[in-house]
Protein backbone atom coordinates (compact mmCIF):
# COMPACT_ATOMS: atom_id res chain seq x y z
CA UNK A 1 0.00 0.00 0.00
CA UNK A 2 3.03 2.31 0.28
CA UNK A 3 2.69 2.98 -3.45
CA UNK A 4 -0.70 4.59 -2.79
CA UNK A 5 0.90 7.90 -1.93
CA UNK A 6 3.75 7.82 -4.46
CA UNK A 7 3.12 10.30 -7.25
CA UNK A 8 5.29 8.23 -9.59
CA UNK A 9 5.66 4.48 -10.05
CA UNK A 10 8.29 2.90 -12.27
CA UNK A 11 7.62 0.69 -15.29
CA UNK A 12 9.37 -2.14 -13.42
CA UNK A 13 7.01 -1.73 -10.45
CA UNK A 14 3.95 -1.89 -12.69
CA UNK A 15 5.34 -4.76 -14.77
CA UNK A 16 5.79 -6.78 -11.56
CA UNK A 17 2.19 -6.00 -10.54
CA UNK A 18 0.88 -7.03 -13.98
CA UNK A 19 2.92 -10.25 -13.85
CA UNK A 20 1.55 -11.07 -10.39
CA UNK A 21 -1.97 -10.44 -11.72
CA UNK A 22 -2.58 -7.66 -9.19
CA UNK A 23 -4.52 -5.50 -11.64
CA UNK A 24 -8.13 -5.53 -10.42
CA UNK A 25 -10.36 -3.71 -7.93
CA UNK A 26 -7.37 -2.67 -5.79
CA UNK A 27 -5.11 -1.62 -8.68
CA UNK A 28 -6.34 -0.09 -11.90
CA UNK A 29 -4.23 0.98 -14.87
CA UNK A 30 -5.64 3.79 -16.99
CA UNK A 31 -4.50 4.95 -20.45
CA UNK A 32 -5.23 8.70 -20.50
CA UNK A 33 -3.80 9.43 -23.97
CA UNK A 34 -5.07 12.62 -25.58
CA UNK A 35 -3.63 14.58 -28.48
CA UNK A 36 -4.15 17.93 -30.15
CA UNK A 37 -5.86 17.62 -33.56
CA UNK A 38 -2.64 18.76 -35.29
CA UNK A 39 -0.89 15.67 -33.90
CA UNK A 40 -3.18 13.54 -36.09
CA UNK A 41 -3.38 10.63 -33.68
CA UNK A 42 -6.48 8.74 -32.57
CA UNK A 43 -5.87 7.68 -28.94
CA UNK A 44 -8.92 5.37 -28.77
CA UNK A 45 -7.91 3.50 -31.92
CA UNK A 46 -4.33 3.23 -30.67
CA UNK A 47 -5.57 1.93 -27.31
CA UNK A 48 -7.69 -0.74 -29.05
CA UNK A 49 -4.57 -1.87 -30.87
CA UNK A 50 -1.91 -1.58 -28.12
CA UNK A 51 -2.04 -0.94 -24.39
CA UNK A 52 -0.63 -2.13 -21.09
CA UNK A 53 -2.31 -5.42 -20.05
CA UNK A 54 -5.38 -4.81 -17.88
CA UNK A 55 -5.60 -1.09 -18.74
CA UNK A 56 -8.83 0.84 -19.34
CA UNK A 57 -9.16 3.99 -21.44
CA UNK A 58 -9.90 7.36 -19.82
CA UNK A 59 -11.17 9.97 -22.29
CA UNK A 60 -10.73 13.54 -21.02
CA UNK A 61 -13.04 14.74 -23.80
CA UNK A 62 -15.76 12.49 -22.40
CA UNK A 63 -15.20 12.96 -18.66
CA UNK A 64 -15.76 16.72 -18.84
CA UNK A 65 -18.37 19.46 -18.72
CA UNK A 66 -20.00 19.06 -22.14
CA UNK A 67 -21.93 22.33 -21.74
CA UNK A 68 -18.71 24.38 -21.60
CA UNK A 69 -17.54 26.47 -24.56
CA UNK A 70 -14.03 25.17 -23.96
CA UNK A 71 -12.36 21.79 -24.43
CA UNK A 72 -12.38 19.17 -21.65
CA UNK A 73 -13.42 21.58 -18.89
CA UNK A 74 -13.57 19.80 -15.53
CA UNK A 75 -16.63 17.61 -14.93
CA UNK A 76 -18.89 17.83 -11.89
CA UNK A 77 -18.15 15.58 -8.90
CA UNK A 78 -21.10 13.33 -9.77
CA UNK A 79 -20.00 12.98 -13.41
CA UNK A 80 -16.44 12.13 -12.31
CA UNK A 81 -17.70 9.61 -9.74
CA UNK A 82 -19.90 7.92 -12.34
CA UNK A 83 -17.18 7.89 -14.99
CA UNK A 84 -14.37 6.41 -12.87
CA UNK A 85 -16.78 3.99 -11.18
CA UNK A 86 -17.45 2.53 -14.65
CA UNK A 87 -13.70 1.95 -14.98
CA UNK A 88 -13.84 -0.29 -11.89
CA UNK A 89 -12.30 2.34 -9.62
CA UNK A 90 -13.43 2.70 -6.01
CA UNK A 91 -12.18 4.99 -3.25
CA UNK A 92 -9.72 2.28 -2.13
CA UNK A 93 -8.27 1.65 -5.61
CA UNK A 94 -4.67 2.55 -6.42
CA UNK A 95 -4.87 4.14 -9.89
CA UNK A 96 -1.85 4.25 -12.22
CA UNK A 97 -2.21 6.66 -15.15
CA UNK A 98 -0.10 6.80 -18.31
CA UNK A 99 -0.25 8.03 -21.89
CA UNK A 100 1.37 6.95 -25.16
CA UNK A 101 2.82 10.30 -26.22
CA UNK A 102 6.32 10.68 -27.69
CA UNK A 103 7.23 12.80 -24.65
CA UNK A 104 6.74 9.96 -22.11
CA UNK A 105 4.12 12.02 -20.32
CA UNK A 106 1.75 14.50 -21.93
CA UNK A 107 -1.85 14.16 -20.71
CA UNK A 108 -1.33 11.68 -17.82
CA UNK A 109 -0.54 14.39 -15.23
CA UNK A 110 -3.92 16.02 -16.02
CA UNK A 111 -5.81 12.87 -15.03
CA UNK A 112 -3.50 12.36 -12.01
CA UNK A 113 -4.44 15.90 -10.96
CA UNK A 114 -8.16 15.28 -11.60
CA UNK A 115 -8.15 12.28 -9.25
CA UNK A 116 -6.43 14.32 -6.56
CA UNK A 117 -8.75 17.26 -7.18
CA UNK A 118 -11.75 14.99 -6.59
CA UNK A 119 -10.29 13.74 -3.30
CA UNK A 120 -8.47 10.58 -4.41
CA UNK A 121 -4.83 10.59 -3.29
CA UNK A 122 -4.19 6.95 -4.30
CA UNK A 123 -3.05 7.84 -7.80
CA UNK A 124 0.35 7.60 -9.52
CA UNK A 125 1.76 8.55 -12.90
CA UNK A 126 3.65 5.77 -14.68
CA UNK A 127 7.13 7.31 -14.92
CA UNK A 128 8.10 7.41 -18.58
CA UNK A 129 4.67 6.26 -19.77
CA UNK A 130 4.12 3.90 -22.69
CA UNK A 131 7.30 5.24 -24.31
CA UNK A 132 9.51 3.82 -21.55
CA UNK A 133 7.29 0.75 -21.02
CA UNK A 134 7.89 -0.31 -24.64
CA UNK A 135 11.58 0.73 -24.57
CA UNK A 136 12.07 -1.49 -21.49
CA UNK A 137 10.54 -4.45 -23.33
CA UNK A 138 7.46 -4.90 -21.16
CA UNK A 139 4.36 -6.60 -22.64
CA UNK A 140 1.51 -4.89 -24.50
CA UNK A 141 -1.81 -6.31 -25.64
CA UNK A 142 -4.87 -5.54 -27.74
CA UNK A 143 -7.14 -7.55 -25.43
CA UNK A 144 -9.45 -5.64 -23.14
CA UNK A 145 -12.31 -6.46 -20.83
CA UNK A 146 -14.75 -4.17 -19.09
CA UNK A 147 -14.07 -4.04 -15.36
CA UNK A 148 -16.89 -4.53 -12.89
CA UNK A 149 -18.41 -1.21 -11.88
CA UNK A 150 -17.48 0.14 -8.45
CA UNK A 151 -18.79 2.87 -6.20
CA UNK A 152 -16.66 6.04 -6.15
CA UNK A 153 -17.46 9.10 -4.05
CA UNK A 154 -15.76 12.31 -5.18
CA UNK A 155 -15.07 15.34 -2.99
CA UNK A 156 -13.98 18.33 -5.07
CA UNK A 157 -11.28 20.68 -3.77
CA UNK A 158 -12.49 23.80 -5.61
CA UNK A 159 -9.62 25.94 -4.26
CA UNK A 160 -7.22 24.13 -6.63
CA UNK A 161 -9.10 25.39 -9.70
CA UNK A 162 -8.66 28.94 -10.97
CA UNK A 163 -11.06 30.86 -13.22
CA UNK A 164 -10.61 33.65 -15.76
CA UNK A 165 -11.76 36.13 -13.11
CA UNK A 166 -9.17 34.80 -10.62
CA UNK A 167 -6.35 35.22 -13.13
CA UNK A 168 -7.57 38.69 -14.14
CA UNK A 169 -7.61 39.77 -10.48
CA UNK A 170 -4.13 38.31 -10.03
CA UNK A 171 -2.70 40.64 -12.69
CA UNK A 172 -3.54 43.43 -10.26
CA UNK A 173 -2.60 41.75 -6.97
CA UNK A 174 0.35 39.60 -8.20
CA UNK A 175 -0.44 37.24 -5.31
CA UNK A 176 0.30 34.10 -7.30
CA UNK A 177 3.04 33.24 -9.77
CA UNK A 178 1.49 32.11 -13.04
CA UNK A 179 3.50 29.44 -14.90
CA UNK A 180 2.69 28.79 -18.57
CA UNK A 181 4.03 25.49 -19.94
CA UNK A 182 3.50 26.04 -23.67
CA UNK A 183 6.56 26.20 -25.95
CA UNK A 184 8.66 29.36 -25.72
CA UNK A 185 7.60 30.52 -29.19
CA UNK A 186 3.88 30.10 -28.51
CA UNK A 187 4.35 31.94 -25.23
CA UNK A 188 6.17 34.81 -26.99
CA UNK A 189 3.59 34.95 -29.76
CA UNK A 190 5.90 33.79 -32.55
CA UNK A 191 4.55 30.27 -33.25
CA UNK A 192 0.91 29.69 -34.17
CA UNK A 193 -1.49 28.09 -31.72
CA UNK A 194 -2.91 24.65 -32.57
CA UNK A 195 -6.45 26.10 -32.54
CA UNK A 196 -7.39 28.17 -35.61
CA UNK A 197 -9.38 30.84 -33.76
CA UNK A 198 -6.60 31.61 -31.24
CA UNK A 199 -3.44 33.68 -31.63
CA UNK A 200 -0.33 32.97 -29.50
CA UNK A 201 0.97 35.13 -26.67
CA UNK A 202 0.71 35.08 -22.88
CA UNK A 203 -0.97 36.43 -19.76
CA UNK A 204 0.73 39.56 -18.31
CA UNK A 205 3.34 38.57 -15.72
CA UNK A 206 3.30 34.86 -16.62
CA UNK A 207 6.54 32.85 -16.44
CA UNK A 208 7.33 30.33 -19.17
CA UNK A 209 8.50 26.79 -18.33
CA UNK A 210 7.79 24.47 -21.32
CA UNK A 211 6.38 21.21 -19.87
CA UNK A 212 9.15 19.21 -21.56
CA UNK A 213 11.60 20.92 -19.13
CA UNK A 214 10.41 18.51 -16.41
CA UNK A 215 11.23 15.35 -18.42
CA UNK A 216 14.45 13.67 -19.47
CA UNK A 217 14.98 12.25 -23.01
CA UNK A 218 13.64 8.81 -21.95
CA UNK A 219 10.37 10.46 -20.90
CA UNK A 220 10.87 10.00 -17.17
CA UNK A 221 10.51 12.81 -14.66
CA UNK A 222 13.69 14.63 -13.65
CA UNK A 223 15.06 13.97 -10.16
CA UNK A 224 14.37 16.39 -7.32
CA UNK A 225 17.65 18.26 -7.71
CA UNK A 226 17.08 18.90 -11.42
CA UNK A 227 13.41 19.83 -10.85
CA UNK A 228 14.43 22.31 -8.16
CA UNK A 229 16.84 23.88 -10.66
CA UNK A 230 14.11 24.20 -13.34
CA UNK A 231 11.96 26.33 -11.02
CA UNK A 232 14.90 28.25 -9.59
CA UNK A 233 16.31 29.25 -12.98
CA UNK A 234 13.13 31.17 -13.89
CA UNK A 235 12.66 32.61 -10.42
CA UNK A 236 9.61 30.60 -9.33
CA UNK A 237 9.41 30.35 -5.54
CA UNK A 238 7.49 27.21 -4.55
CA UNK A 239 6.97 28.62 -1.05
CA UNK A 240 4.57 31.13 -2.64
CA UNK A 241 1.30 30.42 -4.51
CA UNK A 242 1.76 28.99 -8.02
CA UNK A 243 -0.96 28.73 -10.68
CA UNK A 244 -0.36 26.72 -13.85
CA UNK A 245 -1.71 27.35 -17.35
CA UNK A 246 -1.16 26.01 -20.89
CA UNK A 247 -3.30 25.78 -24.03
CA UNK A 248 -6.38 24.11 -22.53
CA UNK A 249 -5.48 22.94 -19.02
CA UNK A 250 -3.85 19.60 -19.85
CA UNK A 251 -0.04 20.00 -19.83
CA UNK A 252 -0.35 22.70 -17.11
CA UNK A 253 -0.63 19.75 -14.71
CA UNK A 254 3.06 18.95 -15.27
CA UNK A 255 3.78 21.93 -12.99
CA UNK A 256 1.46 20.50 -10.32
CA UNK A 257 3.22 17.13 -10.47
CA UNK A 258 6.75 18.57 -10.41
CA UNK A 259 5.94 20.85 -7.45
CA UNK A 260 4.23 17.94 -5.65
CA UNK A 261 7.39 15.83 -6.05
CA UNK A 262 9.30 18.67 -4.40
CA UNK A 263 6.94 18.70 -1.41
CA UNK A 264 4.62 21.49 -2.59
CA UNK A 265 1.28 19.80 -3.35
CA UNK A 266 -0.98 22.86 -3.71
CA UNK A 267 -0.29 24.23 -7.20
CA UNK A 268 -3.56 25.38 -8.80
CA UNK A 269 -4.64 25.08 -12.45
CA UNK A 270 -6.32 27.72 -14.61
CA UNK A 271 -8.72 25.28 -16.27
CA UNK A 272 -9.68 27.49 -19.23
CA UNK A 273 -6.03 28.34 -19.86
CA UNK A 274 -4.92 30.22 -23.01
CA UNK A 275 -7.92 29.09 -25.08
CA UNK A 276 -10.29 30.92 -22.75
CA UNK A 277 -7.92 33.79 -21.96
CA UNK A 278 -7.42 34.73 -25.62
CA UNK A 279 -11.17 34.74 -26.30
CA UNK A 280 -12.11 36.78 -23.22
CA UNK A 281 -9.18 39.08 -22.45
CA UNK A 282 -8.88 42.62 -23.75
CA UNK A 283 -5.89 43.25 -26.07
CA UNK A 284 -3.81 44.94 -23.34
CA UNK A 285 -3.99 41.69 -21.35
CA UNK A 286 -2.44 39.69 -24.20
CA UNK A 287 1.34 40.01 -24.33
CA UNK A 288 2.77 39.09 -27.73
CA UNK A 289 5.68 39.75 -30.03
CA UNK A 290 3.53 38.66 -32.98
CA UNK A 291 0.08 39.48 -34.39
CA UNK A 292 -2.11 41.47 -32.01
CA UNK A 293 -5.71 40.54 -31.11
CA UNK A 294 -8.30 42.72 -32.86
CA UNK A 295 -11.02 44.10 -30.61
Residues classed as catalytic: 246
Give how far Cα 177 sits from Cα of 169, 205, 237, 240, Å.
Answer: 13, 8, 8, 8
Instruction: Tell the burial category of 173 from Cβ atoms under 10 Å away from its Cβ (0-12, 13-18, 19+).
Output: exposed
- Is the separation of the CB atoms in 242 and 270 below 8 Å? no
Rounded Cα gap, residues 56 and 128, in angstroms: 18
Rounded Cα gap, residues 277 and 17, in angstroms: 43
Rounded Cα gap, residues 214 and 230, in angstroms: 7
What residues does 80 pair with on adjacent strands? none
Q: Which of 257, 227, 253 is closest to 124 using CA atoms?
A: 257
Dihedral (CA of 34, 248, 104, 10) sign: negative
Whole-number CA gyration radius for the chain: 19
Give how far Cα 211 sits from Cα of 76, 79, 173, 192, 281, Å.
Answer: 27, 28, 26, 18, 24
Q: Which of 94, 96, 118 is closest to 109 using CA atoms?
A: 96
- Is the separation of the CB atoms in 130 and 105 below 8 Å? no
Q: CB atoms < 10 A from the CB of 283, how many?
A: 11
> Residue 140, CB half-sphere, CA atoms under 13 Å: how many?
18
Amino acid sequence: MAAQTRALVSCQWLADAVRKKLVGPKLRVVDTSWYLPIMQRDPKAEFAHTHIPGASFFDIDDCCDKSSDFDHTLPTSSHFSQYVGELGIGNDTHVVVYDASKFGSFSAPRVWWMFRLFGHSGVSVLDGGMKKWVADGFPVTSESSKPERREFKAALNQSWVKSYEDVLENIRTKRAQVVDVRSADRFRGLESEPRDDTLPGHIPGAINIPFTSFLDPSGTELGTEALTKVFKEVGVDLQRPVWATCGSGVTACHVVLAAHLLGHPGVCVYDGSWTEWFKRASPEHIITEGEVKKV
